[in-house]
Structure 1
Amino acid sequence: MRKFVIVLGALLVLLAVFFVFGKSIYSRPGILQVTKNVVIPKGNTEAILKHLQTEHVIGNDFINKIVFQLAAKMTENQGTLHAAEFSFPKNASIHQVLQILRHAKPVQHELTIPEGLTRYQITDLINQAPFLTGHIEVPAEGSILPQTYAYEFGYSRDKLLQRTQVAMQKALDQVWKDRQPIVQVKTPRELLTLASIVEKETALSRERPMIARVFINRLQKEMRLQSDPTVIYALTDGHGKLDRPLLRRDWEVESPYNTYWIAGLPPSPICSPGKAALEAVAHPADGNMLYFVANGTGGHSFSSTLTEHNHNVHTYKEKK
């Protein structure tokens, strides 16, 4: 009996020592040298631990292994260890690692779709974006809203595409609902198409409502829009930028997208316009402007008569 008590006492002392030592291991800074994003695969605690050791988040030794597994078991009522991409801070302790695996938000990656890209350019952008899965086919022109989209590791490209299209539809619906009624823009589709031309004509936000007004005035007078970006779209079949300067003879290309050749709007957008371009068409500037030309300072000069326009063109050429 006395031996049993001695042995039991020794075991209790050892357990107490192990508990104190294990607790210090559990809380002390870990071996990770820098903050690091790690993709945690699906699996049990043992598989997760091995991956953390491979990524040098948890020490690759027997003590750290035992402490991690015991701590995970003893705190399992705090939640499941999730499979996702997480950011682990420098010197993360086992306690911190378990908290991250259970409660942290997965790492968010971002894809920015700039205004004015064609459907082919956007398709390439999404298909080349990292950490996504799958592959998308080329969507309808103008169906994607340019903005920044957040996603997690392993997210589907198809789901991301759907989000961009839902965002465009919502934006277009709202702009159409709040628009200034304009006889020349009869449907949301026409608003989207005209906004895509406005988007390609200027990068200056202050000019978009003025350019929208020029095109609306031209439509009202049954004048052709004569927009160079529509010619480029026709020449490149919507694939992107022309690899040479636009020539006067290009204005004669027979295409439903060439607004020098057709009257009215093209059959569909020529790019994905941003919200500002949509708003510009929905709320154009006031005025009787019918022409605009580059002014050599990054903007445009606007005019209401051909004589004034020709003067602006001459002035621009002299600056060049």
Structure 2
Amino acid sequence: MKKLGCLIAAGFVLWMVAMAWFSWGWWGTSEVEEEVAFIVPSGSSLTSVAEKLEEEGHIASADAFLLRAKILGSSDPIKAGEFALVAGASPATILDTFQHGTAIAYRITIPEGTPSVIVHDMLMAEDLLTGEIPVPDEGSVLPNTYDFQRGEERIAVLARMQRAMDETLAELWPQRGANTVVSSPEEAVILASIVEKETGVPSEREMVAGLYSNRIRQNIWLQADPTIIYPITRGRPLGRPIYQSEIDAINDYNTYQMPGLPRGPITNPGRDSIAAVLNPAETDAIFMVADGTGGHEFNSTYEAHDEAVDRWRALRAEREAAQDDN
């Protein structure tokens, strides 16, 4: 009887030792000597991730990791992405990181007024993204800064940019003022794209929107230079002065040769430009010209506009002469 008791006691001790060893292998050990980034590919199983962890030296054994995870770990699914494994991370910490941690995020910024061909170029040039994308429809992308993860598909990032534009229009359209001249969100994007290209001064957006709203209301042709350039370059820089033949060209965009709005947007406008055309400034201005400071002078009569043009030409000639002297 005493012998049996000793055997039972010994077995219990062995069991406790085994459990301690098993638990220590999950919570108390680590093969991660310094912080390192680890990528969980999209669609990975825990088995494939464990094998990858072993191959990269972050755990001692994939089989042991899987066994302990099944018994001691959470059953929550793992997430795809790039994760930081901190120095000293135990297998339990590694699994928790994949299940409940935040993947490392990278960022890409689309400036306001970036045309779709450039958006395409920027996404295709980002080496951390994968897959091919078409050039998105003009005006379908909301310029902003977007987070993405290493290995994410470009089409998914583009979809977020386009969803952001849809959500912005859905938010701003009900807030439109009675003085807006656009009759649909689509027209708002078209006019906002012209406002975006016509001024680089944020404080001028509502005024420029008011000016073009007046022209549409009074059936005056918009005569916006960027609408001449767009069908030539699809948004890329022209890199030279506009030719008279291009001013005279008849097409669905050139607002020097047609009344109203062009057939579609000429760039991707930002939120502020969209808001400006939905609530334009109350003004009687129908002309504008550069004022030499980066902004514009606005006028309501041709006579005042003509004088402003003469002042701008004189200032430009003075600056060119000063440059030649230097």
Same fold, judged at TM 0.5 (above): yes
**How far, CA to CA, are the matches of 1:39 and 1:158 in structure 2?**
19
- Residue 21 and residue 242 in structure 1: after superposition, are their counterparts in 2 closer, same or farther (change >3 A)? same
Letter in 1 for 2:20: F
- Residue 304 and residue 37 in structure 1: after superposition, are their counterparts in 2 closer, same or farther (change >3 A)? farther
Letter in 2 for 1:167: A
RMSD: 3.2
Deviation string for 1:114-172 (max 9, x for gaps)?
A: 22122222233334444545433233321222223334455444444444333323322
- Residue 247 and residue 310 in structure 1: after superposition, are their counterparts in 2 closer, same or farther (change >3 A)? farther
- How far 1:18 moved relative to its partner? 7.7
- Residue 146 and residue 223 in structure 1: after superposition, are their counterparts in 2 closer, same or farther (change >3 A)? same
With 161-170 and 89-98 compared, the bigger mean Cα shift is at 161-170
Is contact 2:53-2:62 (8 Å) kept?
Answer: no
Is contact 1:198-1:212 (8 Å) kept?
Answer: yes
Letter in 2 for 1:240: R
Is contact 2:180-2:278 (8 Å) kept?
Answer: no
Secondary structure of the equivalent of 2:141? coil
* Residue 313 of structure 1: aligned partner: 309
Determine whether 1:135 maps to 2:132.
Answer: yes
With 27-36 and 280-289 compared, the bigger mean Cα shift is at 27-36
Equivalent of 2:285, from 285, 289, 293? Answer: 289
Letter in 1 for 2:80: A
Q: Give runs of aligned pairs for residues 9-158 of structure 1, distance below 5 A.
A: 9=10, 12=13, 16=17, 19=20, 23=24, 26-28=27-29, 30-40=31-41, 42-45=44-47, 47-58=48-59, 61=60, 68-76=65-73, 78-80=74-76, 82-91=78-87, 92-153=89-150, 155-158=152-155
- How far 1:32 moved relative to its partner? 3.9
Following TM superposition, the consecutive aligned residue runs of length 4 or more in structure 1 with deviations greater than 6 angstroms are: none
Letter in 2 for 1:258: N
- Residue 50 and residue 309 in structure 1: after superposition, are their counterparts in 2 closer, same or farther (change >3 A)? same
With 221-230 and 266-275 compared, the bigger mean Cα shift is at 221-230
**How far, CA to CA, are the matches of 1:90 and 1:183 in structure 2?**
55
Deviation string for 1:3-25 (max 9, x for gaps)?
A: 99579838935962882596277
Letter in 1 for 2:217: Q
Secondary structure of the equivalent of 1:36? strand
Determine whether 1:217 maps to 2:214.
Answer: yes
**How far, CA to CA, are the matches of 2:168 and 2:46 in structure 1?**
44
Q: Using structure 1 for the length normalisation, give the TM-score.
A: 0.82
**How far, CA to CA, are the matches of 2:239 and 2:183 in structure 1?**
35
Letter in 1 for 2:261: L
- Residue 44 and residue 161 in structure 1: after superposition, are their counterparts in 2 closer, same or farther (change >3 A)? closer
Equivalent of 1:252, from 238, 248, 257? Answer: 248
Letter in 2 for 1:189: E
Equivalent of 1:241, from 227, 237, 250? Answer: 237
Q: Using structure 2 for the length normalisation, give the TM-score.
A: 0.81
- How far 1:44 moved relative to its partner? 4.3
Letter in 1 for 2:13: L
- Residue 188 and residue 86 in structure 1: after superposition, are their counterparts in 2 closer, same or farther (change >3 A)? closer
- Residue 310 and residue 164 in structure 1: after superposition, are their counterparts in 2 closer, same or farther (change >3 A)? same
- How far 1:206 moved relative to its partner? 0.9
- How far 1:55 moved relative to its partner? 3.1
**How far, CA to CA, are the matches of 2:72 and 2:19 in structure 1?**
18
Count of aligned positions: 313
Letter in 2 for 1:241: P
**How far, CA to CA, are the matches of 1:127 and 1:115 in structure 2?**
19
**How far, CA to CA, are the matches of 1:173 and 1:307 in structure 2?**
41
